[in-house]
Structure 1
């Protein structure tokens, strides 16, 4: 069976080149997540900029929480405005440019520059989050329902490969700098410039070849102020109970995912005693496993369904957390990191595909705005809860990690009540009543 990138266009849907161009945005922006949030700048901020210790962990999680809170407020408004005017790319272009500039500016942050470092993380991560929402909203406009799972998985797979390539280039630069006697404050700024440049070039295919496919304009009820828009979108989601339940479910288990993404490298260095090279190597393995997990379960996804696929990954996440909690030597922690990667790619890919599958035609931007709300609430609650637990327990990082497993347990319970077939029927009914047609 051909991959999404190999299939010919049908009935006005996207063809090979356009799907690859769409996926290249995942390739482009994954360097930001991998190097800035997961592998390099987070550990640099905690250890060098903020001086280490529970307070430094808390400040890092606060900066992330502020950025996600901004996306939480702005994201639904941007998505619904894009629905109304039928154009996603101008908004995507603006958020991309802001993220690239903010990332390059992180190169100016040195030891003790707490305010500057936190401010630039808030700016760049807010822009990243808006772009993530917008590129996801293209998905149901590119391919029909029966291709959503594999196409989403293709994007995630390409994305993790992009993060891997960016990290490899940064690793080569770090080792070169260390060979010249450079310390973290010497080579981390250079890695930020590398990420920004690679993001800019890799995103170009998306803006050149991906076409706008405007859905029917959202009904008049959406033409309100941003806060009313968010409330209206959630009211509409309540007419789609399976979508609404899954958005809540996703928001909860993403608390765990976001915690691991934001703090894995810091945990490896501060708790397991990994060197910078070992940490970057570990993140390389995580990205490879994530690409493989997204690709493999993307194939399984369209056969067994998104709900079962997400359920499998949540069980895997629980196993990974327990492995990391009990790890006292590097081998066990490496095994946990590999399992985290495999589950990360698959859970994110299947989650995005299920939201696309259950979102009514013509309202994708609005409902992916709510998807962004769920993800950003998780990005606030998860890492911040870890930071607070670590702070008030005087640095009990292992206990804080074990508490993270609770997010995946609750996610499994809520997932059990999501019915994929019923959700698609409600989706089509909603689209017909709103004048959007059945997708």
Structure 2
């Protein structure tokens, strides 16, 4: 069976252009894998901040700052890109800024004391902000490439390809780390190299996207709305599309739970289950492999079964993950939970992006994907902060916090129920017809 049957792609779209689009997922996944999860996060806490009691709070604060900036600005940036048919240009600028700020993180080990912490927090916030802009803008190209019937498989293929890119970048970095450690080199030496590798892979892979991806949108009339008013205006417009609004609410809930898994899985594995460092690295690899399989396989399933039922299946799987992780007393059961989490992670993220593409008006794709980014970044603040607050209230008991995370996925299931994909698609197509 071909990856992209004729029914999956819009007229005039070639498979090589879809590959170029998917290369962006390949390019930017290394950033989250190496910087946010596997390498720099731990180095910031233990190296830059010297393991101080406030180190983890400083790290999460830098990320939360970036998410807040993205929440407030992405809809306006998306609206500007839509009006000027400039998604590709803005994507190129966002990519360049993320690559440069990621490479600049390599200099942070040379800055000591409070200044070093401040510089590192600033660069993390800047790089993560521009990474988030790129993630939203590349998603806005999806409805221009895929039909509504093929959006699930094309989105899933991109997510799966992204996890492969994350694995490649992490593999290159870990290979160098092991080589450096075998020669007695300190983290202050090999961590900067991993950041340069990450920036290099990002830039190289993204260049394939820019070479092969076309801007199909047409400039729209300028509505004369300032950037600071754009967020409220976009929300006001989106309220005309009730199924899209239900999807945003659903996204805030379930992505909050996903954010907990991304930000805290390694911490839970080591502090609660007793994983060693090398076991945690292996865990991250398994999670990425499972996530790639989930995004790819369930991407095809959602085009047959339907977007909403497929997302519902993944949310039930996430609930099972939280329960298994909370009950796990040994590593075996936790490995099972982690594998299911990987499958659910890729599938749920792919399904959410595809549903957004189906329900967003064609003339305002970047703008409405900006709202989707607003929802995912709000979730990235709500989920981990809730987990931390519950852990603190429970006297450090993370099992209580991970069990409480099931509430986010249950909430996502409840908010998924009112969504009618056919009604929402008809509303989006009607808006596109009026705009022409």
Query: TM bucket by the smaller chain?
Result: over 0.9
Counterpart for residue 23 of structure 2: 24
Counterpart for residue 3 of structure 1: 3
Does structure 2 retain, via aligned residues, the 8 Å contact 1:145–1:357? yes
Equivalent of residue 170 in structure 1, options 170, 173, 180: 173
Distance in 2 of aligned mates of 1:109 and 1:271: 31
Does structure 2 retain, via aligned residues, the 8 Å contact 1:38–1:261? yes
SS in 1 for 2:70: helix
Distance in 1 of aligned mates of 2:284 and 2:242: 37
TM-score (structure 1 length as normaliser): 0.93
Distance in 1 of aligned mates of 2:63 and 2:23: 25
Where in structure 2 are the equivalents of 1:9-408 lying within 5 Å?
12-52=11-51, 55-110=54-109, 113-215=116-218, 217=220, 220-221=222-223, 223-391=224-392, 393-408=394-409
Residues 400 and 118 (structure 1), Cα distance of their counterparts in 2 relative to 1, 3 Å cut: farther
Distance in 2 of aligned mates of 1:10 and 1:387: 43
1:369, CA displacement in angstroms?
0.7
1:51, CA displacement in angstroms?
4.2
Distance in 1 of aligned mates of 2:222 and 2:396: 52
Residues 62 and 9 (structure 1), Cα distance of their counterparts in 2 relative to 1, 3 Å cut: closer
CA offsets per residue over residues 82-108 of structure 1, 9 Å max, x none?
A: 000011111111111111111122223
Distance in 2 of aligned mates of 1:118 and 1:275: 27
Residues 102 and 393 (structure 1), Cα distance of their counterparts in 2 relative to 1, 3 Å cut: farther
CA offsets per residue over residues 328-348 of structure 1, 9 Å max, x none?
A: 222222211111110000000
Does structure 2 retain, via aligned residues, the 8 Å contact 1:289–1:341? yes
CA offsets per residue over residues 50-92 of structure 1, 9 Å max, x none?
A: 3447633322221111011111112111111000001111111
Residues 185 and 144 (structure 1), Cα distance of their counterparts in 2 relative to 1, 3 Å cut: same
CA offsets per residue over residues 367-422 of structure 1, 9 Å max, x none?
A: 00100110111111112222334445553333222222211110011001111111
RMSD: 2.0
1:115, CA displacement in angstroms?
1.6
SS in 2 for 1:262: helix
Distance in 1 of aligned mates of 2:119 and 2:271: 23
SS in 2 for 1:146: coil
Indicate the larger mover: 252-261 or 390-399: 390-399
List runs of 5+ in structure 1 lacking aligned partners. none
Instruction: Give the paired residue count.
Output: 432
Distance in 2 of aligned mates of 1:410 and 1:384: 17
